[in-house]
Amino acid sequence: GAVVSQHPSWVICKSGTSVKIECRSLDFQATTMFWYRQFPKQSLMLMATSNEGSKATYEQGVEKDKFLINHASLTLSTLTVTSAHPEDSSFYICSARDVAGGPSDTQYFGPGTRLTVL
């Protein structure tokens, strides 16, 4: 089946630094990727929709200057948390939808990245 990877799987950084998280579709091409954030014991919250070759669409309340998203190719999207602070500590999950498009059952999820900001 379709596989989505994320790198790194976990990262610890100091407050004020920036962290980049990669999301790759390994065996299919993804025109659309989604970035989610998950707090402990809470649901996944959609942060933004990333379309290859165009600007990301951010959900209400998500700071686009803080969470920079780049989808430069059909197999890679990156999320950069700029000037990270402890409140940015969370579990970040990406998903990818293949070029055929279609409904949400054609979304494939990465295993997530645990970010801890000290």
Which CB sits closer to other proteins, 46 or 118?
Answer: 46
Q: Which residues contact 37 (CB under 8 A, 6 or more apart)?
A: 44, 45, 47, 90, 91, 92, 93
Is residue 26 at the binding interface for other proteins, with CB under 8 A as the rule?
A: no
Give me the residue label for tokens 């165009």: 54
Q: Which residues within the stretch 45-104 sit at the binding site for other proteins (CB under 8 A)?
A: 45-46, 49, 93, 95, 97, 103-104
User: String of b and e for 80-106 (b: at least 16 CB within 10 Å)?
Assistant: ebeebeeebbbbbbbbbbbeeeeeeee
Is residue 111 at the binding interface for other proteins, with CB under 8 A as the rule?
A: yes
> Which residue type, as a one-letter code, is found at position 9?
S
Which CB sits closer to other proteins, 19 or 97?
Answer: 97
Is residue 24 at the binding interface for other proteins, with CB under 8 A as the rule?
A: no
Among the candidate windows 10-18, 38-46, 61-69, 73-81, which touches other proteins by CB under 8 A?
38-46
